[in-house]
Amino acid sequence: MAVETYPASGIDLSSGPSPEEGSEPTRRDFFIISAGAFAAVGAAATLWPFIDQMNPDASALALASIEVDISAMEPGQSITVVWRGKPVFIRYRTEEEIAAAKETPLSELKDPVARNDNLPADARATDENRAPAGREEFLVMVGICTHLGCVPLGEAGDYNGWFCPCHGSVYDTAGRIRHGPAPENMLIPVMDFAADGKLIVG
């Protein structure tokens, strides 16, 4: 290729790299990239002990369960407690609420799965599978709407269960989604009943 130059200055008017200036990476580029990668790994290894110390220790993990005194609760009463930073609804259901939940055909449910951590994952969403065995008057749920995580209002909605005012999800007296954008029934956490009128959640 001919190169044009000014006679006096010898300024190169050609554009682009010359054939000798190839675009292939050099050994220097490889060493620079390798050194950067080793530095990043070293920084992560140095910071990990500081990050890890923010995880809960064994004593905090032992508090993953809570005890709630439900001995004074009466039919129609609800209380809300906090477990693992989440609201948990405890509802002492009336006979009418239990009957309404039991009479609902599974074919009418939007989510046919129980969502009960005490049962197999594929358990059906019957009222018996949503309430504790032998204590069907109590309904214990993580009180978070399964749509976008809002907290539903109790004794509200078309089924006198729970209603989420954020986007209109409606749950029945067994905490099962019936209408609205929520895709799943509210979660039933792991629980147990103690002999002294205490409910253990978690």
119 and 177 housed in the same domain? yes
In a domain, 13, yes or no: no
Question: Of 36, 157, 187, 173, which Cα lies nearest the Cα of 93?
Answer: 173
On whether both 39 and 126 belong to a single domain, the answer is: no
- Residues facing 19 on adjacent strands: none
Regarding whether 109 and 41 lie in a shared domain, the answer is: no
Q: Quick one: pLDDT at residue 6?
A: 47
Residue at 195 is within a domain: yes
Specify whether 105 is located in the same domain as 42.
no
Same domain (yes/no): 41, 135: no
**pLDDT the model gives residue 36:** 81
Which residues, at least 6 apart from 108, have a Cβ–Cβ distance to it below 8 Å? 178
The whole domain housing 67 covers: 61-201
Q: Give pLDDT, residue 35.
A: 82
Residues of the chain with pLDDT under 50: 5-6, 8-19
Q: How many domains does the chain have?
A: 2
In a domain, residue 15? The reply is no
21 domain residue, yes or no: no
Active site residues: 167
Beta-sheet pairing, 86-92 with 138-142? antiparallel
Considering the domain boundaries, does residue 158 fall inside one? yes
- 95 and 32 in a common domain: no
- Whole-number pLDDT of residue 23: 60
pLDDT confidence of residue 19? 47
Instruction: Please state, in angstroms and as integers, the Cα–Cα distance from residue 167 to each residue in 2, 78, 84, 164, following that order.
Output: 72, 23, 25, 6
| pLDDT tens profile 145-185 | 999 999 999 999 999 999 999 999 999 999 999 999 999 99
Here the CATH number for the domain that contains residue 104 is 2.102.10.10
Q: What is the pLDDT of residue 16?
A: 47
Same domain, 75 and 131: yes
pTM more than 0.75: no
